[in-house]
Amino acid sequence: MAREQLSAARYSWNGFADRQDLATALAGQIADRLAGAIAERGTALLAVSGGTTPAKLFAVLSTAPIAWDKVTVTLVDERFVPPSSPRSNAGLVAANLLQNEAAAARFVPLYHEAASIEDAAAADSEALRSLPWPLDVVILGMGGDGHTASFFPDAGNLGELLDPASRRIVLPVHAASGGEPRLTLSMARIVAAGFVALHIEGDDKRTAFDGAMGPGAKKPIRRVIEAAPRPIEVFWAP
């Protein structure tokens, strides 16, 4: 049930007793959505976030019995580091998602060796243009500051990152709070997905989410939820 919140921020809350139950339920919904896309158009496009939250979800999802050879997996965002770096989201996905049945999926990374993050973002936009857009499934995470993807509140180009009319696919991000320079899908590409799930765990993240949905300056996660044409599905466990 969508909990109508202040203004247009619409979302459905899916709370679970523990993180394994959440991973099983969310992986099942993702697999169903991907299988439906494959049945409908012969292919499916999935974008996942990195960070420390999704490893358990990836492990369960990797065993889903779907036609992974018809699934393209890319990233919601990426740190400007090579896949060998412990900070790499591509490395996280390779180690946790692209295994078992999901090893058959095609993976399209965001990181490219380039002279600048701007050059890498331009190369990405060309490399990703031919993917079967729109995304069928997007899995977002959220930081305690209310960022999602690499839409950090202190990003110099936050307005461009959150522009619902942006025609860009991948944008560069410079934000002190994000650590390395980042590459991120634009909000326009994220909210156009058929299914947008926000995966958060722990009491601190729940408090941060509830705060972002309350009155006051709109944090990036609130801007994304408001821009989404359909209620996003929030998955939370303590």
Which residues contact ligand 6PG by CB under 6 A? 49-53, 76-77, 89, 141-143, 148-149
Nearer of residues 38 and 149 to ligand 6PG, judged by Cβ: 149
Q: How far apart are the C-alpha atoms of 161 and 165, rounded to whole Å?
A: 10
Minimum distance, C-beta of residue 42 to ligand 6PG, in the bound complex (Å): 29
Minimum distance, C-beta of residue 143 to ligand 6PG, in the bound complex (Å): 4
Nearer of residues 101 and 180 to ligand 6PG, judged by Cβ: 180
Nearer of residues 78 and 136 to ligand 6PG, judged by Cβ: 78
Minimum distance, C-beta of residue 229 to ligand 6PG, in the bound complex (Å): 21
On whether the CB atoms of residues 30 and 137 are closer than 8 A, the answer is: yes
Nearer of residues 38 and 89 to ligand 6PG, judged by Cβ: 89
Nearer of residues 70 and 147 to ligand 6PG, judged by Cβ: 147
Q: How far apart are the C-alpha atoms of 155 and 6, rounded to whole Å?
A: 25
On whether the CB atoms of residues 73 and 93 are closer than 8 A, the answer is: yes
Minimum distance, C-beta of residue 139 to ligand 6PG, in the bound complex (Å): 9
Minimum distance, C-beta of residue 53 to ligand 6PG, in the bound complex (Å): 3
- Residue recorded with tokens 């729109």: 134
Minimum distance, C-beta of residue 38 to ligand 6PG, in the bound complex (Å): 25
Q: How far apart are the C-alpha atoms of 148 and 133, rounded to whole Å?
A: 21
Q: How far apart are the C-alpha atoms of 148 and 11, rounded to whole Å?
A: 15
* Position with the least CB separation from ligand 6PG: 141
Q: How far apart are the C-alpha atoms of 147 and 62, rounded to whole Å?
A: 27
Q: How far apart are the C-alpha atoms of 155 and 164, rounded to whole Å?
A: 17
Considering only the C-alpha atoms of the chain, give the largest distance between any 2 of them, rounded to a whole number of Å.
Answer: 47
- Residue recorded with tokens 């202190």: 154
Q: How far is CA 2 from the centre of its chain?
A: 20
Minimum distance, C-beta of residue 78 to ligand 6PG, in the bound complex (Å): 7
The CB density around residue 202, as the number of other CB atoms within 10 Å, is 14
Nearer of residues 33 and 182 to ligand 6PG, judged by Cβ: 182
Nearer of residues 70 and 223 to ligand 6PG, judged by Cβ: 223
Q: Burial level of 175, CB count in 10 A (0-12/13-18/19+)? A: buried
